[in-house]
Structure 1
Amino acid sequence: MEYFLVFLLFSALVACTKPVTFTDLNGEPVSLASEQGQWLALNFWAEWCDPCRDEVPELNELASDGQVRVLGVDFDSSQGESLVNKAKALDIRFPVLQESPLTALNIPPPQVLPATYIISPKGKVMAKLFGPQTKQSLEEQVQQLSQSLTLQQREESSNG
């Protein structure tokens, strides 16, 4: 009985936890999960990475369309004015996080840059993509993952 009560208490705590939020360059809170059902492309970049520089216009275009959220993370963990200057130097027009979400996602740092993690609307890492991506390749990846997730959910509900 004692273990059951501990389990119930723990379950209630887990159910009440809010999604982990991070802070962007403007000081605004940002969640990896989406209340609007949007997928997220979480991109790791570095100022010294030429393929990262080449990829930024594609990510800017993806972000401006609004179908897929785009968040950037500086691989070198720059802070403050240094981070702002790096984002400006690369002409990054999508939100950049002030801290890395890797610990919250329970994944190791990427070994190759650029690295883009595709995250479901519920905040789950669904794909890890290494090397430069295009707007089209990211949209196709999200579409495939979304269809796969929808099929999986249908199967679970029909089996449940």
Structure 2
Amino acid sequence: MFKIIVACIFFINIYANDILQEQIDTENKTITILCFYTTWCPACKKSIELLNEIDKNLHTKVKVIGIDLDDGIKRKNYIESLDIRFKVINQNLLQARRYGVKDSVPVILIVGEHRTIVKRFYELPNRKYFFALIQRLSSGYLENGTLPVQERIDLWKKSRD
């Protein structure tokens, strides 16, 4: 039981001394999507197409960052061939493991406004569900579609006046 609790706490926040932290802090967007991928993975290619679409349609609300786990030569050709529009950085697997990336990719993390990981996908998410989730989160709702607790309390108090 203790090991599970420690693991959960370990992965909650984005690390302070990390290149991803710098990327997340550069813009004041509500949500950041991190996608860990490799150039040889077919599911990664589909996830990049999905994220390109999100970046195109929701670029004012959402920041998308791709994290390539391959070397630089393959990455440059891959970015050009897929017309990747979002920011791409390179990390090795050891660095990516801090975010829960193990032996399979793609791994997609949705980081909320307080730099906490809101949702993890260890496979390509359903397009309709993913877009709905991003819309809810960027509108200030929780993953399940409800308002955060404090906002619900404020609405309740306002209705009691």
TM-score normalised by structure 2 residue count? 0.63
2:123 aligned with 1:131: yes
Deviations 1:39-79 (A, max 9, x none): 01111111111111122222111001213211101133x23
How many residues matched? Answer: 133
**Are residue 75 (structure 1) and residue 69 (structure 2) matched?**
yes
Task: Kindly indicate whether residue 113 of structure 2 is the aligned counterpart of residue 121 of structure 1.
Answer: yes
Q: Which residue of 2 aligns with 1:148?
A: 142
**1:65-123 CA-partner distances (Å, limit 9, x unpaired):** 213211101133x23x4422222233322110133698599433243322110001222
Q: CA RMSD in A?
A: 3.4
The amino acid of 1:92's aligned partner reads I
Paired residue for 1:58, among 50, 62, 80? 50
Within the alignment, does 1:32 sit opposite 2:29 as a pair?
Answer: no
User: C-alpha separation between the residues in 2 aligned to 1:74 and 1:104?
Assistant: 10
Q: Superposed, which structure 2 residues align to 1:72-111 within 5 Å?
A: 72-76=66-70, 78-79=71-72, 81-99=73-91, 103=95, 106-111=98-103
CA contact (8 A) 2:31 2:110 kept: yes
Measure the CA separation in 2 of the matches of 1:73 and 1:109.
11
Q: Percent identity?
A: 21
* Distance in 2 (alpha carbons) for counterparts of 1:100 and 1:156: 44
Equivalent residue letter for 1:129: F
- The offset of 1:135, in angstroms, is 5.0
Q: For the Cα contact (< 8 Å) 1:22–1:101, is it kept in 2?
A: no
2:14 maps to 1:22: no
Gaps of 5+ in 1: 1-18, 24-28
Counterpart code for 2:32? L
Please tell me whether the aligned partners of residues 55 and 63 of structure 2 are also in contact (alpha carbons under 8 angstroms): yes
Moved more, 50-59 or 32-41: 32-41
**Structure 2 equivalent of residue 26 of structure 1:** none
Separation in 1, partners of 2:103, 2:154: 38
Q: Summarize the Cα distance change of 1:20–1:39 in structure 2 as closer, same or farther, 3 Å threshold.
A: farther
